[in-house]
Structure 1
């Protein structure tokens, strides 16, 4: 195939700084309403940190966990709570050894018009509370929720 007929690039949608910051505010409000002190991380479509906030009383370990939850969610476009079932399959069990993979609730892909544009990760409550806060924030901004 001649070089002139090769597609050399493609456009990839990614979350804006404005939307990432708005998600931080919405997630912080949701966490406060649930009654938990959390760390919130938002990544772009490639898993790079875009926005971040840690409540004064959130434990220091929540920093890395929130960032890694957002990274995990953005990586395959799957919520982190689904990973426990995925890695229980012997065929893909080795993925559990990936250093940043988090297989508990609280990380959700950020989906706009069917495309993963980033990930949000919340850490500080139990896994269900973290997941609920993330989903509430995504709904508040009109993003799609993947079950």
Structure 2
């Protein structure tokens, strides 16, 4: 049986730049400071690979891994970590809750540019809503889109 060679065998995948990742980190730091929380902040590319990271001096050590995993989770499906609790109630996908690195607590947001996921940000150190607010503030400050 013959096969057809596709016209295109690769595609370009947009990704956040290093400079934009660090600018997001700085915007998130300012947002967390305004809220009054000490946090760890992680920014990943669209594939969930770490691009920028920072943990404030007084943020608990566990916040470092949680922030990275929040960003990874948000990048994985382009969905914010704050919506994963609802998703995981579906028995068809409930097993995802047992995946290492999966976080279903607010504070991880995909970063969208023109509707495409180009990265993700994860913040840990406050409560789930504070982390979420700081992440969304940073995304908007740089002109990226927040997925509701």
Which consecutive residues of structure 1, in runs of 5 or more, have no partner in the other structure? Answer: none
Query: Which residues in structure 2 correspond to 1:94-109 (within 5 Å)?
Result: 94-109=95-110
Once the two structures are superposed, what CA deviation does each residue of 1:32-77 show, in whole Å capped at 9, x if it has no partner?
Answer: 0000000000000100000001000000000000000000000000
* Post-superposition offset of 1:8: 1.1
Query: Which residues in structure 2 correspond to 1:1-147 (within 5 Å)?
Result: 1-3=3-5, 5-147=6-148
* Post-superposition offset of 1:110: 0.5
Moved over 2 A (4+): none
Aligned equivalents of 2:34 and 2:111: distance in 1? 21
SS in 1 for 2:63: helix
SS in 1 for 2:136: helix
Aligned equivalents of 1:49 and 1:145: distance in 2? 19
Q: TM-score, normalised by structure 2?
A: 0.96
* Post-superposition offset of 1:104: 0.6
SS in 1 for 2:8: coil
* Post-superposition offset of 1:6: 4.4
